[in-house]
Structure 1
Amino acid sequence: MLTLHDHPRSGNCYKVRLFLALIGMDYERRFMDVLARKNQTAEFERISAFQQIPALVDGDTALWDSHAILLHLAHHYAPAWLAPLPRIGAMHAWISVSANEIANSLQPLRLTHVVSKAEAAHHLGVDEALLDMPGMRRRTERVLRRMDQHLAAHDWLAGSDAPTVADIACYGYLALAEEAAIDLCAYPAIAA
């Protein structure tokens, strides 16, 4: 049985829960109260080296990082969610967009709206005075424009005939964009 260490407000956890639902996998869900710092224990560090969620235990394998978990699940349980070989590079590139561009724009922007600015600063590892809200918004709009342009010409991010884990990786925070005061109606290809 798979065990997912999870928090219901985490976009990265949402990606994993969504994928598990899409592939029909049963799993045990363990609530991890990151706001109360319950993840900062030596016991949890044995599961998640950086004490971050999501973390997945699959038999003797413990994984952290939503993208590593998505790829593990696809490789072991749902290979149809991997791009065909000619598109595998595109799939990995879009997973990188999720880990970099989205993680450094939409993800922290949303965080500043769903928790206090002080709490957001703590989770982002910066002083509250260094939270650059206009910069986060500009970076978010840039990545959304680029994604929208790409999706206007392709049904799926990797350019495949079907969705891949890259679509799930990027979708996690796009689905929560409203919580960052972003209206996806301005990006019709993403909204579609």
Structure 2
Amino acid sequence: MSNAITLYSFPLSGHAHRVRLFASLAGINHEVVDVDLAKGEQSGADFRAINPFGQVPAMRDGETVLADSNAILLYLARKYAPDWYSDDIETQAHIQRFLSVAAGPIAYGPAAARLVNVFGAGLDKAQAQSVAEWVFERLDAHLEGREWVATDRPSIADIALYSYTAHAPEGDVSLEAYPNIRAFLARIEALPGFVGMPNTPVGLAA
């Protein structure tokens, strides 16, 4: 067995969760090192040597050190789990499209609303909820008649979308109006190796 990669994580981070989830689903040998954000470990010299931006997730694979959840997903898929990516350039573009959705309206919508409720972030919750509803309406329509967002099998695009979408209710964004999204989340949760992110009562981690 190859040496385990190291994932630097935080249990309540959706960005970190998507990397842990993918490593588990893809059967990639890994160990998780939790970074205590409440104690400021992300700002310490040791972690800044790994990621100068002071954010989780980060990854170490031998001599390779990498940060940013989508970049890590792409690296892990290309190196260890090619079935979760594609050799086809058009499919690669579709996957990238939804990685961008995860980094854009998902981050500024449901993820931001959750940050306000769970961590007390000083963001505009109403605006974040409006963005969440905007992107979920379009994602739900895209999923009509589809099982997966970018191709005919699960890919890293699906994993990138999962965590903050599944936990949108923690930002007071209901998924009730989006049956295709709820079915999509259930399909991911039924995959062998699925690991969830803890549900967090409002204000617990603030």
Is the TM-score greater than 0.5?
yes
Does residue 83 of structure 2 align to residue 80 of structure 1? yes
- Give 1:17's aligned residue: 20
Q: Secondary structure at the match of 1:17?
A: helix
Q: Give 1:12 deviation, angstroms.
A: 0.6
Does residue 98 of structure 2 align to residue 103 of structure 1? no
Q: Give 1:183 deviation, angstroms.
A: 2.3
Going by fraction, where is helix more abundant, 1 or 2?
1
- Give 1:40's aligned residue: 43
Deviations 1:94-124 (A, max 9, x none): 1001001111111111111112x2xx23xxx
Counting matched residue pairs gives 179
- Give 1:125's aligned residue: none
Q: Give 1:66 deviation, angstroms.
A: 0.5
Does residue 175 of structure 2 align to residue 184 of structure 1? yes
Q: Give 1:188 deviation, angstroms.
A: 0.6
Q: Give 1:171 deviation, angstroms.
A: 0.8
Aligned counterparts of 2:154 and 2:56: Cα–Cα separation in 1: 24
- Give 2:135's aligned residue: 143
Indicate the percent of aligned positions where both proteins have the same amino acid. 40
Conserved 8 A contact 1:45-1:51: yes
Conserved 8 A contact 1:107-1:173: yes
Aligned counterparts of 2:135 and 2:79: Cα–Cα separation in 1: 31
Q: Secondary structure at the match of 2:19?
A: helix
TM-score between both structures, scaled by the size of structure 1: 0.89
Aligned counterparts of 1:86 and 1:38: Cα–Cα separation in 2: 41
Q: Secondary structure at the match of 1:167?
A: helix
Aligned counterparts of 1:172 and 1:133: Cα–Cα separation in 2: 19
Aligned counterparts of 2:160 and 2:39: Cα–Cα separation in 1: 26
- Give 1:113's aligned residue: 117
Question: 2:31 pairs with 23, 28, 31, which one?
Answer: 28
Q: Secondary structure at the match of 1:152?
A: coil
Q: Secondary structure at the match of 1:93?
A: helix
Conserved 8 A contact 2:112-2:125: no
Letter in 2 for 1:151: L
After TM superposition, what 4+ stretches of structure 1 lie above 4 angstroms from structure 2? Answer: none
Q: Give 1:132 deviation, angstroms.
A: 1.5
Q: Secondary structure at the match of 2:66?
A: strand
Aligned counterparts of 1:97 and 1:189: Cα–Cα separation in 2: 17
Conserved 8 A contact 2:51-2:67: yes
Q: How does 1:164-183 map to 2 (within 5 A)?
A: 164-183=155-174
Letter in 1 for 2:53: F
- Give 2:188's aligned residue: none
Aligned counterparts of 1:163 and 1:94: Cα–Cα separation in 2: 12
Aligned counterparts of 2:31 and 2:94: Cα–Cα separation in 1: 32
Aligned counterparts of 2:140 and 2:101: Cα–Cα separation in 1: 13
Conserved 8 A contact 1:111-1:180: yes
Conserved 8 A contact 1:49-1:64: no
Aligned counterparts of 1:104 and 1:91: Cα–Cα separation in 2: 19
Aligned counterparts of 1:26 and 1:113: Cα–Cα separation in 2: 34
Q: Secondary structure at the match of 1:71?
A: helix
